[in-house]
Amino acid sequence: MATAAKETPARSMGHLALHYGKAEDGPKAAKLLSLLGLVETQVLPLPDGNFYRYVVDNEHFARGDGIVYLSALPERQLKLIEAIHDTFKVGTDNEHEAVQGWRQMLIEDPESSFHFGFLLNSLEDLERITLDLKERAENDPDLKGHIEIGLNRSRPGDPDVDARLDASPLFGDVTRCAYGRNGVQVFVKTDLLKAGQLGDGMVIELDYVFPDRENHILSIVEM
């Protein structure tokens, strides 16, 4: 019996365009994306900094979706960011209270502002990637001082999920919980990628949901 052809979805997520600041930060930002598990498919040298093309996995290598582009911020956008920082005294003793409040909001909830999430199908891969990043955040000269990592574990209630996370080398001592059950979140904050209201950093989220659960952190939100 002939196997039915797999139906192509009507639409999919096409691409995300990310930016770094200085030309010399391009290779560092590209290194971070590779460590997160993205697959580099092209590097195009340009006068103001390399242009990179990634896909989320090898299944998207020759497709037109699942793409992440990485390039240098245009000069006019850099000037706008500089003007914003000057106006609101960002990073100074006289930093505007609105900026201070926004920073505190991100400390309390890393996903409360602009961010982008990748879904992994292996908790072991997520643990391996994150533990490697934590080590590199302290010892890798390209990444030291450029990465902060936050963790959310699943809300308690499923004995199997709770036991697995209690035994996890990454989530075992984490007390902060996600807005839902049966999944975990890793927040990688970096200043190597320029985005958000101040244009000085970005949060990338790595997610995992436990299989065979009808409700999980990415299907239903709990407060």
64-113, pLDDT tens digit by residue? 999 999 999 999 999 999 999 999 999 999 999 999 999 999 999 999 99
Task: Quickly state the pLDDT bin for 2 (edges 50, 70, 90).
Answer: low
Domains by residue range for the chain, with CATH: 12-72 (3.30.720), 75-108 (no CATH), 114-223 (no CATH)
Give the Cα separation of 193 and 189 in Å (integer).
9
Q: Tell me the three state secondary structure of residue 69.
A: strand
CB atoms closer than 10 angstroms to residue 201: 16
pLDDT of 154 > 80? The answer is: yes
pLDDT of 46 > 80? The answer is: yes
90-101, pLDDT tens digit by residue? 999 999 999 999
Task: Quickly state the pLDDT bin for 4 (edges 50, 70, 90).
Answer: low
φ and ψ at 173, to 5 degrees?
-110, 15
CB atoms closer than 10 angstroms to residue 202: 22
Q: What is the reported pLDDT for 202?
A: 96
Q: What is the reported pLDDT for 220?
A: 85
